[in-house]
Amino acid sequence: MSRSGLSDTHPDIERIQIELLRQAPDWRKAEIVGELYATMKTLALLGLRQRYPHAGEPEVRRRLADLLLGPELAETVYGPTPY
């Protein structure tokens, strides 16, 4: 079983993946983190569009800011919520 107990990856394969990540240069690790962040943001936007199907793009983006920054910081940066 994996370290987290949540993975469906075979433990031998997971060990190989971890070793490859350890050997990767720093620039590649940063690139992977950036790709994961972009994927998370895409999934969050999809979820927001599903939850608020009548919201326009500005509202969806603002709701994303609320999720990523927290409502207080998002309000400081972008002003009061328009919804």
> What are the residue ranges spanned by the domains of the chain?
25-78
45-60 residue pLDDT tens:
999 999 999 999 999 9
Q: Which two tokens stand for residue 70?
A: 């927290």
Helices (H), 1-83: 11-23, 26-51, 57-69, 71-78
35-44 residue pLDDT tens:
999 999 999 9
CA distances from 62 to 21, 34, 74, 83 (A): 34, 21, 8, 10
